[in-house]
Amino acid sequence: MSDIDADAETSAEADTDLDSDADFAPDADVEFDASDVPDADTNINAGINVEFDPVRPYTESEIIMTTVRIVTPFVLTYGLYLTFHGANSPGGGFQGGALVGVVVLMLAFAFGIQPTREWVGSGLMSGLASGGVLVFVGVGLGTLALGGTFLEYGLYEPFVGSDATKWGMEAIEIGGVSAIVSGVIMGLFFLTAAGYDSEGGDEA
């Protein structure tokens, strides 16, 4: 057993009562025997766990929590502003979506990854990412269906008026790009924090 594996399992055992993460089956924790690991090794790992806990890389800090509590509303507002005002000022769906995603990352840093993950829920993230692609594809294929070329916004004029090009661009920036980017950024963060799951995933 390598040091890293032992490290992960030791901390999983220590956190069993706090951690509702189902990645670590309870019986796996019971089976793990600390005496497998030489004493000196255990001590070294225990020392590392204080600083870098692979399962819950989180230290409750009043400073970080207060800062995030104050800053978050402004970051979220600025992200939405960049998204919705990107057509007429610097910014756009990509930048705005990134900032909206960062809000969730900041919350996770301040209040713990696991509670934030449960609060956000996987449905929101995969919904944003795949919904964004569907909106983008839908707008593009809609113009094809109307007899034009991909994303030829002008063809929507009978439905939305003479500003069809502008509204089409807003639709793919707000409903498409920004949704994809915010969903994927949140997802990447929680995925990286969760790490490799040797038990999970669909068997190919």
Task: Single out the residue of 64, 94, 148, 160 in contact with other proteins (rule: CB under 8 A).
Answer: 94
The answer to whether 24 contacts other proteins (rule: CB under 8 A) is no
Listed in sequence order, the residues at least 6 apart from 59 whose beta carbon sits closer than 8 Å to its beta carbon are none
Local structure of 156: helix, strand or coil: helix
The answer to whether 37 contacts other proteins (rule: CB under 8 A) is no
Judge whether 139 and 171 are in contact, CB under 8 Å: yes
Judge whether 155 and 144 are in contact, CB under 8 Å: no
The answer to whether 103 contacts other proteins (rule: CB under 8 A) is no
Q: Which is nearer to other proteins, 29 or 54 (CB)?
A: 54
Least Å from the CB of residue 80 to other proteins: 13
- Can you list the alpha helix ranges (DSSP code H) found in 89-177? 93-111, 113-120, 122-145, 157-160, 164-170
Q: Of 24-32, 34-42, 50-58, 62-70, which segment contacts other proteins by CB under 8 A? A: 50-58
Go through the chain and tell me how many residues it has.
204
CA 84 to CA 131: how far, in whole Å? 18
> By the criterion CB under 8 A, which residues form the site for other proteins?
3-4, 7, 48, 51-54, 57, 82, 86-92, 94-95, 98-99, 101-102, 105, 109, 117, 122, 125-126, 129-130, 132-133, 136-137, 140, 150-151, 153, 163, 165-166, 168-169, 172-173, 176-177, 180-181, 183-202
